[in-house]
């Protein structure tokens, strides 16, 4: 396995199927950023509120796909949610994720 594929996996995640199976798309940008544009059906939980909302997301019993502007905040949110026991995935930039789902 090559270095990059060992870091990022050998195949990309099928976000469309995850969403079709009920995964929640959580946009972790600020409320102002979210209002300016977002994926239809996504919910806005700013990164600084993720830990406080983790129990609510865990109770939903669904996978969570995080997104933001560049992928940095969504990566941090993914780690926080995984630590809380949630099946979470970093969807990266919301505009790119929108094209994949």
User: What is the per-residue pLDDT for 13?
Assistant: 84
101/83 Cα distance (integer angstroms): 25
Q: Which of 23, 25, 26, 68 is catalytic?
A: 68
In this predicted structure, the answer to whether residue 100 has a pLDDT above a threshold of 80 is yes
Domain-located, residue 50: yes
Domain-located, residue 8: no
pTM over 0.85, yes/no: yes
Domain-located, residue 1: no
Q: Which two tokens stand for residue 43?
A: 């919910």
Domain span at residue 53?
A: 15-100
Does the annotation count 68 as an active-site position? Answer: yes
CATH code where residue 69 lies: 3.40.250.10
Domain-located, residue 10: no
Neighbours of 9 (CB within 10 A): 10
Q: pLDDT digits over 11-48, tens only? A: 568 999 999 999 999 999 999 999 999 999 999 999 99
Total tally of structural domains belonging to the chain: 1
Domain-located, residue 2: no
51/36 Cα distance (integer angstroms): 24
Q: pLDDT digits over 41-88, tens only? A: 999 999 999 999 999 999 999 999 999 999 999 999 999 999 999 999
């Amino acid at each position: 396995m090559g270095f990059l594929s060992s870091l990022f996996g050998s195949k990309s995640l099928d976000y469309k199927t995850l969403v079709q199976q009920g995964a929640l798309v959580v946009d972790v940008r600020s409320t102002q950023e979210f209002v300016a544009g977002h994926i239809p059906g996504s919910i806005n939980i700013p990164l600084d509120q993720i830990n406080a909302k983790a129990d609510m997301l865990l109770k939903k019993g669904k996978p969570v796909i995080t997104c933001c502007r560049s992928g940095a905040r969504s990566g941090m949110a993914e780690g926080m949610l995984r630590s809380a026991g949630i099946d979470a995935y970093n969807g990266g930039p919301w505009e790119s994720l929108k094209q994949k789902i």
